Structure 1
Amino acid sequence: MVVSHSTPPVTRKKARKSPAKTKPTPGAKQATESSDIDEDMSRESLIQQSATSVEDDMGEASLPRASTVPSFPPLPASAISSQSLKSETRRIPIPPHRMTPIKRDWVNIFSPLTEILGLQVRMNVQRRCVEIRTSKHTKEIGALQKGADFVKAFALGFDVNDAIALLRLDDLFIDSFEIHDVKTLHGDHLSRAIGRIAGQDGKTKFTIENASRTRIVLADTKIHIMGSFQNIKIARDAIVSLILGTPPGKVYAGLRTVCSRLKQRAL
């Protein structure tokens, strides 16, 4: 038996012809170079434009926007007259121990309120309060608040002549605090603290008032000071140091230095 092997036919790959390389002409070469240069320049211009736009956006975001200053024209006379027609009432309570002084000095109390501020005033004995109200003669908008501060100052214990300064000056205030706000004292320690503030025959209190140009009312454990903001701070610091146990002589020395500085600033 004869076995015959058959070999597959060999297929030859056809060789691909490579395209003939043609040398570019000088005109075409210049055209391609110019097109490349134009593309590069357009890319650079686009990059610069995007960078400038980003910088402008960042600059606008970082810089605050210019705001226009609002202008408020003065109110017409009709608006002011309409406000004055609307009456407002304020009720100031009076402590029981101040009812007798307010009855005694009632003429000196309601005269400034009616003549200077043009308010209507009455005393309600049953409710133990003073009621004040605006009228057609009230010309100032803050007259009601000034009148309430004046009556409240008298109710706290200030003299009438000292309280009238609240009506005439705009930079006067009243500050109130208690001894327990500074230091918790009881019994004899509290009595000695009150004695240090008042002094013998009120000498220490008068010295603080004259040095700081204020008025002080010492009502049991409550202390009321009337004056300007800076002067109230000077008097309050002196009183706080006395409550904490500082000798009066040291407080006097501190008040002298403060008074000398105030005189130099005034000059």
Structure 2
Amino acid sequence: MTVVDSDAQPVTTTVASVDLSAQKPKFAPIKVSEASSKGKTAKESRMIPIPPHRLTPLKNEWMNIYTPLVEHMKLQIRMVLRTRSVELRNGPETTHETSLQKGADFVRAFAMGFAIEDAIALLRMDDLYLETFEVKDVKTLHGDNLSRAIGRIAGKDGKTKFAIENTSRTRIVVADSKIHILGTFQNIRMARRAISHLIMGSSPGKVYARLRNVSARLQERY
């Protein structure tokens, strides 16, 4: 290829050929023991505060929480009653660097009010998330108006909440004016939109119809 500079003198340059058939390199996942340059395990820890009303359920379900975290995730865990918290940290046997974060999410989900059977899915699946928002994030309500909005979310005997959970394939916990949702990103968005419509004053029948339509479209797409 010939390039002409400002002095109008021809300059000849050579363009190196690029091998487009070369594949991208593939690297094996790094282990926790390899995170440090000396080959030692990088010590990390998490502290999850436990609300007062969840301390008794935590004590009753302690072995169901302890067993999967220690035996399967290879984490170290302890309950600190003085600070009302649960502390987690990785140990020499921890093989995956995501184990600590998954364990913290599992304990945090239980502290929010989710059942053990639902929260343990955070340890088994990679595409599950937790989302929390308040009623005032959607609409500012006070007094009886706030109570009625929470009642619309729950429904009679919890039927509205169960219907949203079954249609969106999520799990929902209503704790006073806070709403916690456990599920995949797409399903959380679907459930939050339905709850927001209820807070704004939509009737449960209209919300059910919207949920069924969205769920049907998602099933056709995937």
Specify if TM > 0.5: yes
Task: Identify the residue that residue 248 of structure 1 maps to in structure 2.
Answer: 204
Give the fraction of aligned pairs with identical amino acids, expressed as a percent: 57
- 1:79 and 2:34 are equivalent in the alignment: yes
Task: Identify the residue that residue 149 of structure 2 maps to in structure 1.
Answer: 193
Change (3 A) 1:192 1:52: farther
Task: Identify the residue that residue 31 of structure 1 maps to in structure 2.
Answer: none
- 1:258 and 2:214 are equivalent in the alignment: yes
Segments of 5+ residues of structure 1 without an aligned counterpart are 1-47, 57-68
Q: Which amino acid aligns with 1:152?
A: R
Deviation at 1:134, TM superposition (A): 1.1
Q: Which amino acid aligns with 1:202?
A: G
Deviation at 1:242, TM superposition (A): 0.2
Instruction: Give the whole-Å Cα distance in 1 for the aligned partners of 2:99 and 2:111.
Output: 18
Task: Identify the residue that residue 218 of structure 1 maps to in structure 2.
Answer: 174
Instruction: Give the whole-Å Cα distance in 2 for the aligned partners of 1:110 and 1:98.
Output: 16
Deviation at 1:49, TM superposition (A): 5.0
Partners of 2:131 and 2:180 within 8 A in 1: yes
Q: Report the structure, 1 or 2, having the larger helix content.
A: 1
1:44-193 alignment runs, 5 A limit: 49=4, 74=28, 79=34, 85-193=41-149
Instruction: Give the whole-Å Cα distance in 2 for the aligned partners of 1:53 and 1:215.
Output: 73
Structure 1 length-normalised TM: 0.71
SS of the aligned residue for 1:231 comes to helix
Q: Which amino acid aligns with 1:91?
A: M
Instruction: Give the whole-Å Cα distance in 2 for the aligned partners of 1:151 and 1:76.
Output: 25
Deviation at 1:151, TM superposition (A): 0.5
- Structure 1 runs of 4+ off > 4 angstroms? 48-54, 69-78, 80-84
Partners of 2:35 and 2:42 within 8 A in 1: no
Give CA-to-partner distance per residue, 1:106-153, whole Å, 9 cap, x none: 010011101111001110111111111211111001111111111111
What root-mean-square deviation, in Å, do the aligned CA atoms of Structure 1 and Structure 2 show?
2.7
Change (3 A) 1:50 1:122: closer
Deviation at 1:72, TM superposition (A): 7.6
Instruction: Give the whole-Å Cα distance in 2 for the aligned partners of 1:251 and 1:53.
Output: 73
Instruction: Give the whole-Å Cα distance in 2 for the aligned partners of 1:163 and 1:252.
Output: 26
Q: Which amino acid aligns with 2:218?
A: L
Partners of 1:119 and 1:135 within 8 A in 2: yes
Deviation at 1:86, TM superposition (A): 3.0
Segments of 5+ residues of structure 2 without an aligned counterpart are 12-22
Give the structure with higher Rg (CA). 1
Aligned residue pairs total: 207
Partners of 2:102 and 2:122 within 8 A in 1: yes
Instruction: Give the whole-Å Cα distance in 1 for the aligned partners of 2:100 and 2:174.
Output: 27
Instruction: Give the whole-Å Cα distance in 2 for the aligned partners of 1:107 and 1:184.
Output: 41
Deviation at 1:83, TM superposition (A): 5.4
Moved more, 100-109 or 70-79: 70-79
Relative contact order: is structure 1 or structure 2 higher (C-alpha 8 Å, sep ≥ 6)?
2
